[in-house]
Chain A
Amino acid sequence: MSFTRRILMVGTAMALGIAGAMAQAFPTKPITMIVPFAAGGPTDTIARIVGEHMSRTLGQTVVIENVAGAGGTTGITRAARSAADGYTIMMGHMGTHGAAPGLYPKLAYDPQKDFTPIGLAAGTPIVIVTRKDLPVKDLKEFMEYAKKNEKTINQAHAGSGSVSHITCILLNEMMKVDPTPIPYQGTGPALNDLVSGKVDYMCDQIVSVQGQVAGGGVRGLAIATPSRSPSLPNVPTTLEAGLSMFQVSAWNAVFAPKDIPADVAKKLQDALVKAVTDPATKTKLEGLGGVVPDAQRASPEALATLVKTENDRWVPLLSRKVKQ
Chain B
Amino acid sequence: MELIANLGHGFAIAVTPTNILLCLIGALVGTLIGVLPGIGPIATIAMLLPITYKLDPTGALIMLAGIYYGAQYGGSTTAILVNLPGESSSVVTAIDGHQMAKKGKAGTALAIAAIGSFIAGTFGTILVAALGKPLTQVAQAFGPADYFSLMVLGLVCAIVLASGSVLKAIAMIFLGLLLSTVGTDLETGEQRMTFGYLPLADGIEFVTLAMGMFGFAEILRNLEAQSSRDIVSQKVTNLMPTRDDLKEAAPAVARGTLLGSILGILPGGGAVLAAFGAYTLEKKISKKPQEFGKGAIRGVAGPESANNAAAQTSFIPLLTLGIPPNAVMAVMVGAMTIHGIVPGPQIMTKQPDLFWGLIASMWIGNLMLVIINLPLVGLWVRLLRVPYRMLFPAILFFCAIGVYSINNQPFDVVLTAFFGLTGYLLIKLGFEPAPMLVAFVLGKIMEEKLRQAMLLSRGDPFTFVNFDRHPISTVLIIVSAVLLILAITPALRKKRNEVFVED
Contacts and interface: CB of A to CB of B under 8 A. Distances in A.
Interface of A: 38-41, 44-45, 48-49, 52, 64-71, 74, 77, 103-104, 106, 108, 154, 159-161, 180-186, 188-189, 191-193, 195-196, 198-199, 207, 210-212, 214-217, 231, 284, 287-288, 322
B213 to A, nearest CB: 22
Q: How large is the interface on B (under 10, 10 to 19, 20 to 34, 35 or more residues)?
A: 35 or more
Interface stretch (B320-328, B413-421, B490-498): B320-328
Given A198-B144, A215-B322, A189 B268 contact: yes
Contact of A216 (B202, B345, B448): B345
Interface centre among A39, A74, A160, A217 (most CB of B within 10 A): A39
Contacts of A189: 267-268, 448
Given A45-B338, A71-B189, 20 more contacts: A39-B42, A40-B330, A48-B334, A48-B338, A74-B199, A74-B202, A108-B198, A184-B186, A184-B452, A185-B186, A186-B330, A188-B323, A191-B323, A195-B323, A196-B140, A210-B344, A211-B346, A215-B345, A215-B346, A287-B340
A160 B321 contact: no
Given A41-B334, A183-B187, A207-B337, A196 B343 contact: no
A278 B408 CA distance: 32
Interface of B: 42, 45-46, 49-50, 53, 140-141, 143-144, 184-189, 196, 198-199, 201-202, 267-268, 317, 321-325, 327, 330-335, 337-338, 340, 342-347, 407-409, 444, 448, 451-452, 455-456, 458
A193 B456 CA distance: 12
Contacts of A40: 46, 324, 327, 330-335
B41 to A, nearest CB: 11
Nearest to A49: B338
A104 B325 CA distance: 29
Contact of B342 (A39, A106, A214, A322): A214
Sort A-B residue pairs by CB-CB distance and give the 10 closest, nearest first: A211-B344, A40-B334, A160-B189, A215-B345, A39-B46, A40-B331, A196-B140, A40-B330, A69-B202, A70-B201
B344 A217 contact: yes
B335 to A, nearest CB: 7
10 contacts: A40-B46, A74-B199, A161-B189, A181-B455, A192-B267, A195-B140, A199-B456, A211-B322, A211-B347, A287-B342
Contacts of B340: 284, 287
Contacts of A322: 188-189
Given A154-B456, A193-B144, A212 B345 contact: yes
Contacts of A196: 140-141, 143
B452 A183 contact: yes
A201 to B, nearest CB: 14
Contacts of A49: 338
A39 B334 contact: yes
A66 B407 CA distance: 7
B408 A210 contact: no
B493 to A, nearest CB: 37
Given A212-B345, A214-B342, A215-B344, A160 B332 contact: no
A161 B325 CA distance: 21
Given A160-B185, A211-B343, A154 B455 contact: yes
Nearest to A63: B50
Contact of A211 (B143, B196, B345, B455): B345
Contacts of A210: 342, 344
Given A39-B42, A189-B267, A198-B456, A77 B198 contact: yes
Given A44-B334, A184-B452, A198 B143 contact: yes
A49 B52 CA distance: 12
A52 B407 contact: no
Given A67-B409, A69-B201, A212-B322, A45 B334 contact: yes
Contacts of B346: 211, 214-215
Contacts of A184: 186, 448, 452
B349 to A, nearest CB: 9
A318 to B, nearest CB: 10
Contacts of B337: 45, 207, 287-288
A191 B323 CA distance: 8
A77 B331 CA distance: 24
A67 B405 CA distance: 10
Contacts of A154: 455-456
Contacts of B323: 188, 191-192, 195, 212
B32 to A, nearest CB: 19
A195 B321 contact: yes
A161 B49 CA distance: 27
Nearest to A154: B456
A65 B408 contact: yes
B345 A217 contact: yes
Contact of B448 (A181, A185, A207, A214): A185
